[in-house]
Structure 1
Amino acid sequence: MKKEVKLQLNEKNGFFYIEIDGKTQAKMTFVFAGDDKIIIDHTEVNEGNNGKGFGKMMLTKAVEFAREKNIKIIPLCPFVKSVINKTEEFQDIL
């Protein structure tokens, strides 16, 4: 049971997700805000997966994505905002 964060996107929006045995177990959605920002607006983890770190795994992938693309993250999602505020190494993407 490999937990890998995947990304699906188009020119307007996208989402990071974790799929286990062919079923999406967690999802973090975002929209592009111009050419240099994404707004992460929602994170959800399916029942039974709370406390497994899926949210932080997806956020870590989002931060990597932002750094690769040289863009910033606007954290509208309360979970994302909270984790970024507590995680010093994520501060550069704000």
Structure 2
Amino acid sequence: MEIVHEEINAKGRYSATVEGYTGEMTYSRSSPRLIIIDHTLVPDELRGKGVGQALAKHAVEEARNGGWKIIPLCPFMRAQAMRYPEWQDVIQA
């Protein structure tokens, strides 16, 4: 699954299009070393296809590669962060 990353000023978005539908995860950059993931949207047509999980995993990989932390304000991302203790190196509660 290809994930597209867009960032303009302090706002960013990860998105994946599958079968003509797009899921997205949005964030705000509060500093060069911290992003706040504030929203995840996966259309009903993509539920159960792993799109949300792929977006969350991608955000974690980006944080590791970029040397920043994630505040998981979005309920989906917060639940994923609790589900995967191995992500705690980039999660800031």
User: Does the alignment reach a TM-score above 0.5?
Assistant: yes
Which consecutive residues of structure 1, in runs of 5 or more, have no partner in the other structure?
A: none
Matches of 2:2 and 2:32 in 1, distance apart? 27
1:47 is displaced (CA, Å) by 2.0
Residues paired across the two proteins, number: 91
Alignment of 1:56-75 (within 5 A): 56-75=53-72
Asked if the contact 1:17–1:24 (Cα under 8 Å) also holds between the matched residues in 2, the reply is no
1:72 is displaced (CA, Å) by 0.2
Matches of 1:19 and 1:60 in 2, distance apart? 16
2:12 aligned residue? 14
Which consecutive residues of structure 2, in runs of 5 or more, have no partner in the other structure?
A: none
- Read off the aligned partner of 1:88 and give its amino acid letter: P
Asked if the contact 1:43–1:77 (Cα under 8 Å) also holds between the matched residues in 2, the reply is yes
TM-score calculated relative to the size of structure 2:
0.90
TM-score calculated relative to the size of structure 1:
0.89
Matches of 2:18 and 2:77 in 1, distance apart? 22
Matches of 1:11 and 1:61 in 2, distance apart? 20
For the pair 1:55 / 2:57, whether they are aligned, the reply is: no
Matches of 2:33 and 2:59 in 1, distance apart? 14
For the pair 1:42 / 2:42, whether they are aligned, the reply is: no
Match of 1:30 among 17, 27, 35: 27
